[in-house]
Amino acid sequence: MDSKEMALQCAKILSDKLAQDLSVIYVREVTSLADYFVIATGGSSTHVKALADEVEFKLKQEDINPGHIEGHGTNSWIVMDYGSVVVHVFSEEAREFYDLERLWKDGEKLALDFD
């Protein structure tokens, strides 16, 4: 699976778990950190944790494991590093505060359609 497919799969997993305000941003041309950032918002700290857990669980079923996960202790921002894809799951307040879309506005935002 290439990085775009993985990013879209992560977004689909998050969408299925009712994540809010999903974004997938292609950032390879503007940073060496990753190819894609997947950004989502949970409605509560419990939802934030559930969203991150679901991504981790579903990808592990395909033998895809994160290199690193941060933020499980706070549940306001959990970041999951899959190398070429970095998944950010925020509370509403944390997402507004960090405003990653503004920070990575030079990246290309992908259209998402999960009907």
Q: Which CATH number belongs to the domain containing residue 95 in this structure? A: 3.30.460.10
Judged by DSSP in three states, 3 sits in helix
Q: What is the pLDDT of residues 63-104, one digit of tens each?
A: 999 999 999 888 799 999 999 999 999 999 999 999 998 989
Domain-located, residue 115: no
Domain-located, residue 8: yes
CA distance 56 to 77: 15
Q: Which structure tokens are listed for 9? A: 């799969």
What confidence tier does 114 reach under pLDDT thresholds 50, 70, 90? confident
Which residue do the tokens 């857990």 mark?
Answer: 53
Domain-located, residue 65: yes
What totals of helices (H) and strands (E) does the chain contain, helices first? 4, 6
What domain count does the chain have? 1
The model carries a pTM of: 0.94
Domain that residue 105 falls in: 3-109
Domain-located, residue 47: yes
Domain-located, residue 98: yes
Domain-located, residue 114: no
